[in-house]
Amino acid sequence: MSTSPTADAPTGTQEHVLHCISEELSATFDGVFGPDMVERYVFESYAALARTAKIKTYLPIITRRFAVDRLNALAHAQGKRPSGVPEVLFVCVQNAGRSQMAAALLRDLTQGAVNVRSAGSMPAEHLDENVVAAMSEIGLSLDEQFPKPLTDDVVRAADVVITMGCGDTCPIYPGKKYEDWNISDPATMDLEGVRTVRQVLKTRVTNLASQLVS
């Protein structure tokens, strides 16, 4: 695969690793997407994440996870590999606070009965430290989570799209339920303030879960 020489393009060892990831995922999605499509998604996912990452050492690892999630979303949206459960997408500006907290709470409440994603219209470099700490207090680890850019495929896959402060950046598609939650941004808060946001989100998410899961 040829890539243009941009700042976001992988070089050397990382490009080799991305090709290996593409080959692995081509086998995983055999019969769903062709190798060229899979490789394009892997390299596009890398470039999207590289725009906000200062340290690129672990980029191939999270690129694989991001590409898998996007390919699963696309397969679901196209009816090639339906998930069989409701799909929810939480969107905020940086995907470093509110949307990550809401996603973690809904995953915990529904235990696989709902497929949950989160994304940001302008993703940050990393999750907010107080957000990570506040969620850890209630036994929910965000250690493996990372800010992800909002992509068309995850919006198309969603049955419910919850936005929080990202304005009109989320594309609108018919047949989906859209809600805008007016939740304060924890980015400028201390830990006590983030705990308050966590409680507000928990109430909202509990109500949403009751609507989605009988």
Same-domain pairing of 143 and 54: no
Concerning whether 20 is annotated as a catalytic residue, the answer is: no
Concerning whether 92 is annotated as a catalytic residue, the answer is: yes
- Give the domain extent around 117: 85-214
- pLDDT at residue 58 in the model: 80
Same-domain pairing of 114 and 196: yes
Concerning whether 170 is annotated as a catalytic residue, the answer is: yes
> Which one of 32, 58, 82 terminates a domain?
82
Cα 25 to Cα 8, 68, 146: the distances in Å are 21, 8, 20
Averaged over successive runs of 10 residues, the pLDDT of the chain (214 residues) comes to 53 88 98 98 95 75 96 97 96 95 98 96 93 98 94 95 79 86 93 97 97 87
Predicted model pTM: 0.91
Same-domain pairing of 135 and 49: no
150 close to 170: Cβ distance less than 8 angstroms: yes
Q: For residue 31, give the CATH number of its domain.
A: 1.10.8.1060
Q: In this structure, is residue 4 part of a structural domain?
A: no
Same-domain pairing of 62 and 38: yes
Of the residues 166, 183, 201, 205, only one is catalytic, namely 166
Of the residues 17, 48, 170, 201, only one is catalytic, namely 170
Q: For residue 152, give the CATH number of its domain.
A: 3.40.50.2300
